[in-house]
Amino acid sequence: MNENDIKEFQETFGTRQRSRETSELPDNPFLKAELSYAVSSGTLTSKVIVLESTDNSAEIFADKMAESISSSFPDFYIFRIDLKEMVELMKFATLSKYKRFLLYSNLLIIENLEQIEKNSVVYDAIIEIINSLHATSYLLVTTKKKLEEISIDLKTRNFLMSGKFFSTGGKEEKKENDPIRDFSDFISQVKQEAGVQENLNEGEKREEFIEKLYIWEMKGFNVERLKNVINDNDISLIRKEFSEFTDKIKELVELHKDYGLLNIKEFKKESKEIEEILFDPDKLDIIKEKTEALKEKIRYLRFFRNSIRLSMMYESFITDATNRTAYNKITEIINNENAEKIVILTGTNGTGKTHLLNSICNHFIENRIILIDKTNVDLAVNNSYVMRYMDDLSMVLIDDFDILFENKANKAVLKNIIMNNVPKVVSMYRKFSIDDRELLNHLNKFQSFNLQPTSLFIKKNVFKAMFANLGIQVNDFLMNYMLDSIESPLSAVEDQFKELALISPNRVPTIESIDRLFPQAESKKTASRKKSEYDTSQLIKEWINEHDRLYVEFEV
């Protein structure tokens, strides 16, 4: 985000500058216990906490919670969404613009949830945020209506109701229609229901252990082993079990932090397996093993995606008659309409093969797709590393396959990759240059799409996009001159355009700077002319059909 975006984001979703008519907290022992725990641990005792109030006491508590955690943990991301403000000030675009950043909050506060009913844009954004929160995020919701009275989908309602509920604003806290006036009464009730005995050795009371057990259980930790000993008459045994449990909790919290730093969006299955046991202190070794395995898969995926060029987006790929068929086939892949296991793209340098492969990776950002090219093929074939997690991948992309296959050291592994059932998109110059009859017969089972040399229509639109991105100003004369004189393939001119922008006064290039930066064939070099002498008709050299001819004649 730029400085203006950061300012807008902080003004809309920040929590530090909040002010209320009164700062008096609700007189509720449960909320005080929550606040105390949050300040000491930086987290809530439940993934979700819902506060219901008819006045603004719930918002006062939410402000205090945000302020307290921010002071104790200044590096935390704590954000607030006031739905009443969103609806009244119509900040719908702002909410949609920044919602992806809110998903990674340490604590996200959503105030006035009942306002979600008043605008469909707000509704869609909030539902998406609630159901897409990061595994390590906590949610605090305030509402002036009961959850069951708010019009939200069943999945979201069940998620919110699975958390802890508090009623403020003069209403008494209720639990199964039995009023509990303060925290000590609650502990007494827990003891009574659990049949906890009072005759402890050494005259020590159990309250402190029961309170810890309650907090840990509300936090989500598995406390069955503690429940098994809480009634024991030997206080030393209870103390020993709680001490060991506390040590494991500390180690588990470190694992939580380690796991929370991982980018798990491509590994939903593995992350779900870990999250199901992430709060069980008795499964520390299993959590460590699964986390390390997940880290290795993430490293593997990242390595084979490091060479992806983010500028090559699917939406920026320009089509005409020379590449439209291949583009449509890739569109079928993106829309899950293509049942073929292999799509083959052929064509000379600069026809857009690499762009299409990169665009698949950039479009399927949350899928397990790797790109094998000249920058990483050595590791791919080393000890068959690429085959290690092959069956876990959604798709494999290979750029310039025929060139990579010429190296004898690559042949065996590349052949195994092609013969594997994982879907693939493969680019190459010429399919029939592959000197392996079995592999060639296999490839011949699938359709090839030949990309033709770049037309002037595509070339001009690519130049226009680069000019716009870099702020280069050109007139028709300079545009026509560059189209006619630059011989470099489109895949190789991006860096030269960046340098042209840097050396051009006021971002207006000269013919001399163009000639110096862009390599040109001797036969194509054109002497400088006055604008009136330049004959644009010389640019019309080729077209595939009448449709493209019109683009060339009337747009160039």
Mean pLDDT of all residues belonging to the chain: 79
181 has a pLDDT exceeding 90: no
Q: Tell me the three state secondary structure of residue 264.
A: coil
Summarised one tens digit per residue, pLDDT across range 391-400 is 888 889 999 9
For residue 339, the model assigns a pLDDT of: 64
For residue 173, the model assigns a pLDDT of: 41
The answer to whether 168 touches 63, Cβ cutoff 8 Å, is: no
pTM, to two decimals: 0.50
Mean pLDDT computed over 69-87: 89
For residue 536, the model assigns a pLDDT of: 42
Summarised one tens digit per residue, pLDDT across range 278-287 is 888 889 999 9
Q: How far apart are CA 220 and CA 546, in angstroms?
A: 68
Give the torsion sign (CA, 292, 294, 300, 302): negative
**Two tokens at 259?**
């796991």
353 has a pLDDT exceeding 50: yes
DSSP bridge partners of 481: none
214 has a pLDDT exceeding 80: no
Q: Strand runs (DSSP E) across 53-185, as ranges?
A: 78-82, 107-111, 138-143, 164-167, 174-175, 178-179
Mean pLDDT computed over 10-37: 70
Q: How far apart are CA 28 and CA 181, in angstroms?
A: 8
527 has a pLDDT exceeding 90: no
The percent of residues above 90 in pLDDT, for the chain, comes to: 12
CA 546 to chain CA centroid, Å, is 44
Query: Per-residue confidence at 468, pLDDT binned at 50, 70, 90?
Result: confident
Summarised one tens digit per residue, pLDDT across range 423-456 is 888 999 887 778 889 998 998 888 888 888 777 8
Mean pLDDT computed over 99-114: 90
Q: Strand runs (DSSP E) across 357-421, as ranges?
A: 369-372, 395-398
For residue 24, the model assigns a pLDDT of: 67
For residue 541, the model assigns a pLDDT of: 41
Mean pLDDT computed over 345-352: 85
For residue 525, the model assigns a pLDDT of: 44
The answer to whether 411 touches 404, Cβ cutoff 8 Å, is: no
**Two tokens at 239?**
């103390």
182 has a pLDDT exceeding 50: no
User: In 3D, which of 399, 453, 449 has the Cα closest to residue 428?
Assistant: 399
For residue 553, the model assigns a pLDDT of: 37
Buried b (16+ CB within 10 A) or exposed e, 357-379: bbbbbbebeeebbbbbbeebbee
User: In 3D, which of 446, 457, 205, 435 has the Cα closest to residue 323?
Assistant: 457
Q: How far apart are CA 464 and CA 467, in angstroms?
A: 5
For residue 185, the model assigns a pLDDT of: 54
The percent of residues above 70 in pLDDT, for the chain, comes to: 82
66 has a pLDDT exceeding 60: yes
Summarised one tens digit per residue, pLDDT across range 475-491 is 888 888 888 888 777 77
126 has a pLDDT exceeding 60: yes
Q: How far apart are CA 339 and CA 352, in angstroms?
A: 23
For residue 549, the model assigns a pLDDT of: 40
Picking from 142-146, 233-237, 551-555, which range would have the lowest pLDDT averaged per residue? 551-555
CA 341 to chain CA centroid, Å, is 27
Query: Per-residue confidence at 143, pLDDT binned at 50, 70, 90?
Result: very high
Q: Between 493 and 411, name the one with better pLDDT.
A: 411
